[in-house]
Amino acid sequence: MRTVDDLLSLMDGLFAPEADRWTSAAGSWWDGFYADRDREVPFFVDKPDENLVGYVERGLVAPGRALDVGCGPGRNAIYLARNGFQVDAVDISATAIAWACERGGDLVRFRQGDAFATEGSYDLIYDSGCFHHLPPHRRISYLALLDRALKPGGHFALTCFTADEGTSTPDAELYRQSGLSGGVGYRPGDLRWIFQDLTEVELRRMTDEPSGSSAFGRSFLWTALFRKD
């Protein structure tokens, strides 16, 4: 090893492929995950997150250039595009990107690949359910992406597992067990500490939305909005 990237790549190998949604080694695992569109997966619905809808409707985020990281089938990226944003969206799964393009490829620039390799600058970076799949060492890469790609005055918005839904195993123990047990669960203090270089705008549980709602919402997720000053 000679570089930090060499070290991060070595540590990626300590985890099962599904534990790293951000690098090329994970692509085939997530392709299999997205292959059956009829699976009972909550976020396969074609609805935007209720918190994202709220940010837009309340004017907390204004139309500009947006990046959807780990976009999956594209439901949030398409919502943003339909509300005046210029949207780039990336996911490691080619299968997810193909599905997203079917839904709204004329509205969003979808890209299959590593989100950490994203270039450009954005007024909004949105992550719905991907951060909690990161091994602890990849938070370094994630923060570097925010530092590089989020414009001053721009916003970062996140949904992720609560500690009740995801594993609350300490970081060091995750390396001993070589897995994330389906995803890392966070407490509000964890998120405030990790993203301490940003200003908190709002942090709350996601609201449960009924099946007939035009938005997606499940209370086992945190929703957070931060601003880069």
* pLDDT (0 to 100) of residue 11: 86
* pLDDT (0 to 100) of residue 29: 79
Backbone φ/ψ region at 169: left (φ over 0), alpha (ψ -120 to 50), beta: beta
pLDDT at 63 over 70: yes
Q: Where are the domains of the chain?
A: 4-37+45-227
Task: Name the most confidently modeled range: 112-116, 144-148, 180-184.
Answer: 144-148
pLDDT at 153 over 60: yes
201-223 confidence digits (pLDDT tens): 999 999 999 999 999 999 999 99
Nearest to 54 by CA among 229, 224, 219: 224
Question: Band of the pLDDT at 224, cuts 50, 70, 90?
Answer: very high
Q: Is 4-37+45-227 a domain of CATH 3.40.50.150?
A: yes
Check: CB of residue 203 under 8 Å from CB of residue 222. Answer: yes
Question: Band of the pLDDT at 143, cuts 50, 70, 90?
Answer: very high
Angle between the N-to-C axes of helices 50-57 and 75-82, in degrees from 0 to 180, rounded to the nearest 10: 20
Check: CB of residue 99 under 8 Å from CB of residue 37. Answer: yes
Eight-class DSSP state of 15:
S
Spatial separation of the C-alpha atoms in residues 8 and 5, rounded to whole Å: 5
Spatial separation of the C-alpha atoms in residues 63 and 73, rounded to whole Å: 21
* pLDDT (0 to 100) of residue 227: 98
91-137 confidence digits (pLDDT tens): 999 999 999 999 999 999 999 998 999 999 999 999 999 999 999 99
Question: Band of the pLDDT at 60, cuts 50, 70, 90?
Answer: very high
Nearest to 150 by CA among 103, 92, 93, 197: 197
Average pLDDT over residues 4-30: 71
Spatial separation of the C-alpha atoms in residues 85 and 138, rounded to whole Å: 28
